[in-house]
Amino acid sequence: DPNEDTEWNDILRDFGILPPKDKPKDETEELVLRLQKEAEVKPYERMTLKELNEAEDDFDEDDMKALEMYRQQRLQELKILQRRQKYGELREISGEQYVKEVTNAQKDVWVVIHLYRSSIPMCSLVNQHLSLLARKFPEIKFVKAIVNSCIQNYHDRCLPTIFVYRNGQIKGKFIGVTECGGTNLRIEELEWKLAQVGAIKTDLEESPKQNITDMMMSSVRSASICDTHASRRDNGETK
């Protein structure tokens, strides 16, 4: 039997006298191939919305159901993309525009407004950071306004003032130098503050301010230990 698995048949196969033995089908390989085929991208998944509308007649009933679901998905993705590309900069507004641009902003859009006075250095620092954050998070609406155009007789000690709005409601506020992060405010600290009130989704895993605090406490403890050792040494030398 040429298909019999014997040493003699193996020798004949090596010399080409018998044809190669059929390999048994690998069930795992067959499963992988089947899954790959099932995962192949459907033609309509590479089409634009216009092409989808033009190709409707070429699909059967099952494809039409999948097509409609895919069309809705693409429309939703397009809306999200348009929203994300809508802003991307820190815009200047006046007090007269406050209600329209901030309180009555588009539904579900987060709005960050900075009330400032150009003569205050901390306000200039916050504006610099917000300009960079506006580019990093283009789906968020970042605006600034000279405080006198919005609120008359607003005290300097309350500046900078940052309000965070969503659907006409204030979701967060930072009033004054201390609440805004101090005169040495870093952009990561401001990003963390905005993330804490829900305005942005940051990739920061912990508060940058905490790292600084930990380092300061560590330095204080180290200094204290050194002072203690020095005091003991001085006392020993005195004795």
The pLDDT of residue 90: 96
What residue ranges do the domains of the chain occupy? 91-197
Two tokens, residue 221 = 């403890």
User: Which residues, listed in sequence order, are joined to residue 166 by a DSSP beta bridge?
Assistant: 110, 169
Q: How far apart are CA 192 and CA 213, in angstroms?
A: 15
Confidence of residue 73 (pLDDT cuts 50, 70, 90): confident
Q: What is the pTM of this model?
A: 0.57
Query: What's the CATH number for 91-197?
Result: 3.40.30.10
pLDDT for 142-163, tens place per residue?
Answer: 999 999 999 999 999 999 999 9
Q: Is the pLDDT of residue 226 over 70?
A: no
